[in-house]
Structure 1
């Protein structure tokens, strides 16, 4: 990533320019997913899936941190030991990330067993120490992604205490998934759907901290929904973050630059997108990977178009076969070309549901 891109992101963060991001999602937003999403949005801030600090300290850092995605990409870390997190930040310095984010919101069992993720909502002081240590190890922005609270916590004081602790440690921003996390009784999937959304609580945090960078995540179903959610009755947030909607219907991302960044350049050319992903897949296969490592992120691309089912079926059945190559992508693309031609002639756009 060029220094200019990093400087642009820092300027947006400092000047409270509205940002749009794709959320970090475990097992989903790997480097192939990020490369795919970048083909549709030049400007959106993309996140890695959570990388545990211990893995960076003791594992294959190249495998964990290598990224050929142009544009702004943030590294999300998991952990609760300030010294280990600081060391992980130092070790990640050679890679061109533009932000370091601490996960204080994931409710999965493996995160709970390591006493980090959403568990940290119970210990704001420790989160503050983690942020202070991470800040000491980098000149990049350091942010937090959290929940409103966990289990029986009152989301009023719980979120205030977490925010106060990280800002005292000079965190550059807080992304809030506007739900509680229930560490007992709900699965990670249920934690993304069952606890009620409370955007009002996030607006209140911003209202009481107007000079702080605060972004909203959780339950945003489309770009228009996200754009509308930036503004409360009497407050404007700094950023919004889409998760499942961006992953499951990724074609919507081609409208993100126009809606959020004022970039009116023509949306991605579908043929060019498929060719770019075929080249990316070919390079991955050449290095010992499998086609489905790339194509598994692409099955929802043509949601809403004629031929989308055939596209999904071909990628789901053919791309997983041993020896499958980029030709599978081109074969699947043939099934949606008529629907894309209809779009060019004024039919339904993939950007939002008709």
Structure 2
């Protein structure tokens, strides 16, 4: 049976994620679910009584007009091999077919998951690379100087959120009725979150954001007019994270890596444009990041491409250098 989760299901969903190696606190799981529409597969048979667990799998969908981003499709290891993942995804695709506007369903897949998604009609669009390094041993950034008049200021969410969203639209070629509003999602997705605005002659020309979760310091999204400025933003975001106690891992005796010095720093970049390769190479060769995995980014369309949503007017002077996350893109 597929249904939307009850408040009491959050703990079971968190435990299911933990069984596949993704560890969240209950509060963080609730924050992750909050901006999404979530569906769970429930075992209502007599066998469920033996397991004492009703949730077999879950799928989270961030619905923003005509782009629906899959923020996690998970099946309990105890229930895998029964087609539960396919049923959950098909449920979402059926809803997309019934939507009032043509919908693009977008996700970052594992390599193992690609055959299933291809059978469901998804197409491989580009590759998303996850890069990680330990915060321990990371020298305080030297802050790359930028001599073109650009200024870097810490963002004020209440004032800068609409500007951040507009810059995201320009950089991705989206439009207001299809774009995922990252600016309003972002502050609630972590223990702590900060952003840096890039301004030139008083006008905002880009931004970068960083947030702290129980597992990572996550860099992104980053929108900037050049690789040099993107690198400068990254260094300033790292400086913000390293100077803020809220970005340190909470002390937890059950966590073998407890302590602020053992935090992992993560950034997700795509390879859809050549400039992103330059940033990735710099992160690996100059900043000590390593490639954790390359994952296919895939799209499914409910109908013919809508030129007003799929091919918006991208600002050729702006690029998106890093994603908000693999789930929220």
Question: Fold-level match, TM-score > 0.5?
Answer: no
> TM (normalized to structure 2)?
0.31
Greater strand content: 2
**TM-score, normalised via structure 1 length:** 0.29
| Higher RCO by CA contacts (8 Å cutoff, separation 6 or greater) | 2
The structure carrying a bigger helix percent of its residues is: 1
